Amino acid sequence: MTSANRQEQPSNSEGQKKELLDRYENIDRIAFRKTLRLYFKRALWVAVVRTTYLLKRLFDITASALLILLLSPVLMGCAIALHRDSPGPVFFKQVRVGRWGKLFLMWKFRSMYIDAEARKKELEAMNEMNGGVLFKMKEDPRITPVGKFIRKTSIDELPQLWNVFIGDMSLVGPRPALPSEVNQYSLAERRRLEVIPGITCIWQVSGRSEIPFDQQVGLDVDYIESQSLWLDIKLLLLTIPAVLLGRGAY
């Protein structure tokens, strides 16, 4: 080994040692910058999520108020028809499960005879909904003549605009389930409870009751993972022809 190499080796070693010491001397400063960057990213994400929620909520309040006003003649006409059709209250209220499992009263126009719940047990063996969680029949004998029409046209859902206005529901989101249905949910199916339930959703405009329950859950999860205000507007526009055609509604 030459004398030049002998002199270069300790010099390199001293340089590496100095670099290592400098790095450890600045470790607190580096850690602080990384922590600050992490908190900034987190705060930015929270701000985006909350802003999106506030925009959606503002849209729901404005749209539901306008729709209640514009559709008031339809609401009054339906109430009169139901009153003359069969004995019982015009409105039907039912406990449903909202976001994070919160219970609320969902409003609908009554489309069934007043003894419908008592007669349900007799008809459970005739359930036509695949999956067993939901109960659906195309020719349900509990439905009144006017009730059949308002179900086909989704007029029975219009009182839920009030639920949207007060914040229990949204215009777009997974349909709110009964507590008895949620009790049968698997862990994956409980993802539907991560967002505020809605009047319309992806599977409502894609076939409604003709879509098996597991596919309904899959479509709801797709919505949750890609939801945006523009997607909500698109689904609302798609709801109009779906209601007019009445496909899968019973």
Per-residue pLDDT band at 246 (split at 50, 70, 90): low
Most confident of 20-24, 27-31, 98-102: 98-102
Provide the pLDDT confidence category of residue 68 given band limits of 50, 70 and 90.
very high
pLDDT at 145: 93
Over the stretch 38-58, which tens digit does the pLDDT of each residue have? 777 777 767 766 788 899 999
pLDDT of residue 125: 65
Does pLDDT of 5 surpass 60? no
Instruction: State the pTM of this model.
Output: 0.76
CA angle at 128 for the pair 147 and 219, rounded to the nearest 5°: 90
Q: Which tokens hold the place of 187?
A: 């862990």
Q: Which of 199, 75, 178, 102 has the alpha carbon at shortest distance from 133?
A: 178
DSSP state of 194: G
Question: Of 195, 203, 205, which is closest to residue 173 (Cα–Cα)?
Answer: 195
C-alpha to C-alpha distances, 206 to 127, 138, 233, nearest whole angstrom: 21, 18, 16
The whole-chain average pLDDT of the chain stands at: 83
Is the predicted pLDDT of residue 116 greater than 90, yes or no? no
Tokens of 113: 């005879």
- Does residue 244 have a pLDDT over 90? no
201, two tokens: 């959703």
pLDDT of residue 217: 87
Whether 247 has a pLDDT exceeding 70, the answer reads: no
- Residue 112: closest CA among 147, 85, 153, 156: 147
User: Does residue 203 carry a pLDDT above 80?
Assistant: yes
User: How far is residue 154's CA from residue 121's CA, in Å, rounded to a whole number?
Assistant: 25
Please say whether the dihedral angle defined by the alpha carbons of residues 28, 31, 36 and 42, taken in this order, is positive or negative: negative
The answer to whether 98 and 177 are in contact (CB under 8 A) is: no
Asked if the model's pLDDT at residue 166 lies above 80, the reply is yes
Alpha-carbon dihedral angle through residues 164, 170, 175, 181, given to the nearest 10 degrees: -70
Is the CA virtual torsion 162, 98, 219, 234 positive or negative?
A: positive
Q: How many CA atoms lie within 13 A of 69 on its CB side?
A: 6
Query: Which pLDDT value is given to residue 140?
Result: 84
